[in-house]
Amino acid sequence: MRKTIALAVLAGLATGAAANTSIVKPPDMGPYWHPIDGDFGTYVYASDFVLSGTDTKVDRLGMWLNLLWGGTQNIRFEVWGDTGGSGPDPNNVLASTGSIHPNVTPALEYHEAPAAFSANLVPGTRYWFAATVVGEGGGGGYQTGGHTQNSVYNDNGTFWYSNDPAGQWFDGQNLTPQIAFAVHMVPAPGALALMGLGGLVAARRRR
């Protein structure tokens, strides 16, 4: 009976460990940067963050958007690597939601989607949250929320954008404020397995 209870508790701990690290930069400046749009605007918005905690897999990505016009534009939320401290690397996509169509209204609202894939990120490393319409279909324009650097969140980030249809060349660099976004992390599968194994060993020793 004690073994059954211990296993149930361990399963609960493993489940509860998921999604316990979040990088959130809220829209403390309200609607700000615009437009992100595959027809008449900018193709990529990117803001940096430093991964904290021990969770290394991206679970969900989100950002604050409102609708400027149209309403059919698809978009992707992604995590990119950094080009050696000099900016976002569009050729190093580490996590992505894939193509999504958020139900955006004229009011600034939070929209998120699960990550379709995620590489194993490294705590303490600089990464970039990217909102991109490169290669996406639909039409219309979005506006993003603005987040103040050096706010109460003490995050000291920066914002870049690309008017290049291929999303490779960044016209605007080191701009303020950032876009408002969120990155939600979970433990890597191997970490959960090790947690469960360690608990089972401890439970067996107590029998």
Residue-range domain boundaries for the chain: 1-18+188-207, 19-186
DSSP state of 180: P
Q: Provide the pLDDT for residue 139.
A: 87
What's the Cα-to-Cα distance from 54 to each of 28, 40, 57, 89, 180, rounded to whole Å?
Answer: 27, 41, 10, 23, 23
Residue 207's pLDDT band, with cuts at 50, 70 and 90, is low
**45 has a pLDDT exceeding 50:** yes
Q: Which of 23-27, 151-155, 201-205 has the lowest mean pLDDT?
A: 201-205
Q: In terms of DSSP H, where are the helices of the chain?
A: 2-16, 189-206
Among 67, 43, 62, 80, CA closest to 163: 43
pLDDT in tens, 75-132: 999 999 999 878 999 999 999 999 999 989 999 999 999 999 999 999 999 999 999 9
Mean pLDDT across the stretch 173-201? Answer: 75
Percentage of the chain exceeding pLDDT 90:
66
Cα–Cα distance for residue pair 196/190, rounded to 1 Å: 10
Q: Provide the pLDDT for residue 200.
A: 43
Q: Taking a C-beta distance cutoff of 8 angstroms, is the pair 79, 58 a contact?
A: yes
Cα–Cα distance for residue pair 36/40, rounded to 1 Å: 8
Q: Residue 146, Cβ neighbours under 10 Å: how many?
A: 21
Helices 2-16 + 189-206 axis angle, to 10: 160
**19-186 to CATH, choices 2.60.40, 2.70.98, 2.60.120, 3.30.160:** 2.60.120
